[in-house]
Amino acid sequence: MMASAVRRLPTAFSITKPSTKKQPRQHVEAHLKFIRSLPCLVTGARDVEAAHIRYGNMRWGKRTTGAGEKPDDQWVVPLSQKMHREQHDFGDEELWWREKGIDPVLVAMALWRATGDEQAAESIIREARR
């Protein structure tokens, strides 16, 4: 019986850490300005902040954002200052949104596509608040 050799890459047992380069953060000031012109996703109040969604949702292609890292501006929704603080202070952001009955990742995606169309964006927010 003839033995066969198993080929392996030269780095197969390497102790060096593989490169894990992140893509640069996508920052779009025009979109953030647009988001700040909309009503709060939770309360409907005006005078909002652009709130980035940090938790991941692979269903919608949103990766979890690490500590000290801000998500791309695609993943942002309008929140009043009070709701924005509550979102960050709650501890479990995903649970906080579930308790509000809103899927912020889906809303952020819809708002990203509607950038510049205030009527469409307000309709998206009204629908999400129902």
Evaluate if residue 23 carries a pLDDT over 80: no
Evaluate if residue 19 carries a pLDDT over 60: no
Mean pLDDT, the chain, rounded, equals 85
Q: How far is CA 59 from the centre of its chain?
A: 12
Interatomic CA distance for residues 106 and 41, integer angstroms:
12
pLDDT at 51: 96
Interatomic CA distance for residues 111 and 128, integer angstroms:
11
Give the whole-number percent of the chain exceeding pLDDT 70: 75
Q: How far is CA 77 from the centre of its chain?
A: 9
- Ranges of each domain in the chain: 29-129
pLDDT at 56: 75
The model's pLDDT over 35-85, given as tens digits with 9 standing for 90+, comes to 999 999 999 999 999 999 988 777 776 677 766 777 788 999 999 999 999
